[in-house]
Structure 1
Amino acid sequence: MPRAAIRLGRWAVLAAACLLLSGAPAPAGSPQWQLVYDGDPLKGSGSRMVFLEAEGELLLQIGDGAMAPTFWTLVGDDWRRRLIPLADMPPGVNKPSLAYDSLRDRLVRFGGYGRDGTSNETWEYDGQSWIQRTDVGAPPARGRAGMAFDSARGVMVLFGGYGDEELGDLWEYDGVAWVEVNPPGDRPPARRDHSMAYDAKRKRIVMAFGRTELAPALNETWEYDGLAWIKAPPQFGVDPRADAPLAYDPIRERVYTFGGALVGAETRYWDGSFWQLVAPAASPPARAVASMAFDGTRGELVMFGGDDGVDALADTWVFDGTTWTEIGPTDDPPGRVGFGMSFDSRTEQAVVYAGWSCCGQVDYDDTWEWDGREWSEALVSLNPGKRQSNAMTF
């Protein structure tokens, strides 16, 4: 096979993110696909992140419901693709609930919006493969719900979200069955796009922010101790927000949040009654719908991606309790789909132009070249403009 065809074939696979083929083994001597470059996670708001304690790895899921999810682990300061056979993957969904069961060493995923509608499926990942659990007794289908694992009681706690309507129900999952819980006393109003985290020091689920059909953003905070909901005092001076991630830092024994819709680049922590403002020496830009989790291997909070209201983001930041630091490669093209690609036999480089990001949020008009080892951006004075699903040939 000509050298150009070999290099183009390899590049086409990595660029389209179609890196894994399933089916019968190929005949001996036949051409084989080979991964030559991991790439980077796609931009967009369709990401969820958890720390797998048993493996000591931070796992990032990218997906928007229109394509199979991709999974990444943070190795040092770089994201590495975790290849999972397509036959073992759960359906792609957008805005599912993900949380890690530290007692059973299982990542649990519930719900989300997919091609076939809103899901109420429960899936578990044991570090090797995904397994669909029974849906008997499962909560009604939904996405945009909050979920966190209560390690003291050994149950996953799910609240709210949006299915056919806005929801305000409370459910617990012990790894065998889902049970709806109706604690006495006051309870939070129905909501979506809120966040939940388990405060291990205080042994309470913390639920904050979100939005309702009547309010584009909320600033109230509730706690759940397994017996009742407790509403926190009014948060004067804390702007309402939605899609603000929450994560518990066991070293500093605090629940942190960053940004969110309708607010700036704020870092705050929950002291049990108020969201205290942190003044880090450096900070990520403002954003909403980012993913955030505590990396037990690094001993830091890690935040990925999100949306700044203009552009989808794919940057990675770590927070050590004092300041934020950006990590990861800076010389790679942003992840994309629907781009044009061809091979330039004069320069022996594959060329990619334009395309769009995950979840259809950003159209590109940049040009990149791949020489078989590394990327370089081609700075041109004139181009055809932003577009997607474009064709190219040499």
Structure 2
Amino acid sequence: MFQTILKSLIFIIGLIGFPVLEIVVQEKATLDQANTAMPDARARAHFIYHPASKALLLFDGYAIHLDSTQNDVWKWAQIKAFGPGSRSGNAAALHTKTGQIYLFGGWGENFLKDNKDDTWIFNGSTWEKVNTGPIDAHDHHKMVFADHLGAFVIYSGRNAISGQPDSLTWLLKENVFTPLSIPGPGPRGNVGFAYDPGRKKLVLFGGKRYDQPADLWEFDGKIWKQIEVPDIGVTTGHAMTYSEELHMIIIHGTNGETWNWNGKSLSKIASGGPLGSGLALGYDPARKVIAAYGGFGEHNTIKSALWELKGGEWKKISDNGTWIQTSLNSYERMGDAEAEAFNQANTLLAEKKITQAETVLLKVLKTGIKSRALYAQLGQVQYQLGKYEAGVHAYEKLVEIKPIGHDFYDLARGYARINETDKAFIALYKAIENGYGSKEHFQKENDLASLRTDNRFKGLLEKVK
């Protein structure tokens, strides 16, 4: 059984919809045991070493909240750190002079309708909002503290007021934002950004376009300079940090390869690491390891695995599974076989190989797996193939598990197609009762055409917006 000692790893978890942070300390765990007590699955979070806590802090990001219980594997403690609240798309970094973590901007719970222009400071136990300005609300930007400037440097992302990418270079010093009137790398998002204290350079890598190789820029506090580098298979969505042990910038790509930048050349130092974009990457100087957590997977999945890189080798320390987005606000945890089938079917559907996708889903479901996401996927596939009775059977299985309003709506579509009118109306009313109902959808959905001549349809519309 693989074991690890992680006495200095702390997770700060921002709960969706509830502005309270939890601190979770992992002291000792096996890979199997840790599966029951992991932080939320999340992507685009922050992994920042906090010297006073002697720990890496993980917080924010697009998260799925899990109910966690205390046991002898993990020690849990909750800090009533009311502050920034639930948000994502923000930037955060450690002020190495004061030992405090600064957080700026991002989205609140309503995403584009809830843009943030505030700045918060975390001292290891409490948050404090500070007055900074002048700067518009930003999201998906990056922020790094530069020792030799005594200031944070902010770059990339979107100006939430104009709605356009921001190509300005900003400094945050003594709690005042100042834009620099200098040319830079240009508009971009999902960049990698890190600081090399030995060379006194900020390094920005990639994020320009998904279909273009990453370019590399360095900033000394006065000018940006582009440096020609070879294509290493990275475009955007990668992660960066600085290794005090190697005295180099670390770049981890979405393909699982890890590179370093020494100011002159890029060198691959590891492969076989975590896959996907938006993972949190940080360096723990106490244990001299690079740690990675979470990230986006394929087809609307979010991950919850903790990895460590030491001695040129990546190791998975713990994993709370891959989570599949099954609707706007609904996620389902899947085992390896389920996730593999889900992703394989989605790939086949993208290639318009619908019959093959059905075969994949039927095969895994015949093993006895009860998966809401797989039944929903199978139902849609069979509807596309015109197999409405089979699709209805899939949705009937689905609503026996843990249905949401949209599931009943999709079931009603199938019932209407096979002329089970009474069952169709019952399913539509259940959809409304469970929070799903759109008058426009009900009036325009082709699958519901046979119901619109029924006298009950008018009464149904009165129940929805």
Same fold per superposition (TM over 0.5)? yes
- Measured after TM superposition, the shift of residue 146 of structure 1 is 0.3
1: distance between equivalents of 2:200 and 2:245?
16
- Measured after TM superposition, the shift of residue 145 of structure 1 is 0.7
**RMSD over aligned Cα, in angstroms?**
4.3
Equivalent position of 2:127 in the other structure = 178
Equivalent position of 1:316 in the other structure = 258
Query: Does residue 356 of the first structure (1) align with residue 343 of the second (2)?
Result: yes
Which structure would you say has the larger Rg?
A: 2
Query: Residues 215, 83 of structure 1: CA spacing in aligned structure 2 closer, same or farther, 3 A cutoff?
Result: farther
Query: Residues 95, 332 of structure 1: CA spacing in aligned structure 2 closer, same or farther, 3 A cutoff?
Result: closer
What's the TM-score, normalizing by structure 1?
A: 0.58
Equivalent position of 1:265 in the other structure = 214
Query: Does residue 327 of the first structure (1) align with residue 269 of the second (2)?
Result: yes
- Measured after TM superposition, the shift of residue 340 of structure 1 is 8.3
- Measured after TM superposition, the shift of residue 315 of structure 1 is 2.3
- Measured after TM superposition, the shift of residue 322 of structure 1 is 0.9
Query: Residues 241, 84 of structure 1: CA spacing in aligned structure 2 closer, same or farther, 3 A cutoff?
Result: farther
Equivalent position of 1:242 in the other structure = 189
2: distance between equivalents of 1:134 and 1:245?
30
Counterpart mapping for 1:174-323 below 5 A: 174-183=123-132, 186-213=133-160, 214-235=162-183, 238-262=185-209, 264-280=213-229, 282-306=230-254, 313-323=255-265
Query: Residues 302, 114 of structure 1: CA spacing in aligned structure 2 closer, same or farther, 3 A cutoff?
Result: same
- The alignment partner of 1:356 has SS state of helix
2: distance between equivalents of 1:331 and 1:194?
25
244-253 vs 325-334, which moves further: 325-334
2: distance between equivalents of 1:180 and 1:268?
32
Counterpart mapping for 1:12-51 below 5 A: 34=1
Contact kept? 1:218, 1:242, Cα under 8 Å: no
Query: Residues 103, 340 of structure 1: CA spacing in aligned structure 2 closer, same or farther, 3 A cutoff?
Result: closer
Counterpart mapping for 1:147-166 below 5 A: 147-163=92-108, 164=110, 165-166=114-115
> Aligned pair count?
277
One-letter code of the match for 2:45? P
Equivalent position of 1:141 in the other structure = 86
- Deviations 1:280-320 (Å, cap 9, x if unpaired)? 3x3423422211011122222111124xxxxxx32222212
2: distance between equivalents of 1:197 and 1:331?
24
- Measured after TM superposition, the shift of residue 99 of structure 1 is 1.7
- Deviations 1:129-176 (Å, cap 9, x if unpaired)? 675542333212101110000011221100001113111100001112
Select the structure with the greater relative contact order (CA < 8 A; seq sep ≥ 6): 1
2: distance between equivalents of 1:255 and 1:129?
37
1: distance between equivalents of 2:217 and 2:358?
37
- The alignment partner of 1:168 has SS state of coil
Contact kept? 2:256, 2:274, Cα under 8 Å: no
One-letter code of the match for 2:268? E
Contact kept? 1:222, 1:232, Cα under 8 Å: yes
Query: Residues 305, 132 of structure 1: CA spacing in aligned structure 2 closer, same or farther, 3 A cutoff?
Result: farther
Matched-pair identity in %: 19
Query: Residues 233, 133 of structure 1: CA spacing in aligned structure 2 closer, same or farther, 3 A cutoff?
Result: farther
Q: Which has the higher helix share?
A: 2
Contact kept? 1:145, 1:160, Cα under 8 Å: yes
One-letter code of the match for 2:343? W
Query: Residues 340, 299 of structure 1: CA spacing in aligned structure 2 closer, same or farther, 3 A cutoff?
Result: closer
Contact kept? 1:97, 1:143, Cα under 8 Å: no
2: distance between equivalents of 1:254 and 1:179?
29
Instruction: Give the gaps of 5 or more residues in structure 2.
Output: 11-15, 17-29, 67-72, 277-296, 299-321, 323-333, 350-355, 368-465
One-letter code of the match for 2:194? A
1: distance between equivalents of 2:63 and 2:76?
18
2: distance between equivalents of 1:225 and 1:296?
24
- Measured after TM superposition, the shift of residue 216 of structure 1 is 4.6
One-letter code of the match for 2:233? P
- Deviations 1:252-273 (Å, cap 9, x if unpaired)? 1211110114364211111113
Contact kept? 2:52, 2:124, Cα under 8 Å: no
Instruction: Give the gaps of 5 or more residues in structure 1.
Output: 1-33, 39-51, 60-64, 66-80, 118-127, 307-312, 342-351, 366-383
- Measured after TM superposition, the shift of residue 85 of structure 1 is 2.3
2: distance between equivalents of 1:155 and 1:206?
16
- Measured after TM superposition, the shift of residue 35 of structure 1 is 5.5
2: distance between equivalents of 1:149 and 1:266?
25
- The alignment partner of 1:327 has SS state of strand
- Measured after TM superposition, the shift of residue 94 of structure 1 is 2.7
Contact kept? 2:144, 2:194, Cα under 8 Å: yes
- The alignment partner of 2:139 has SS state of coil
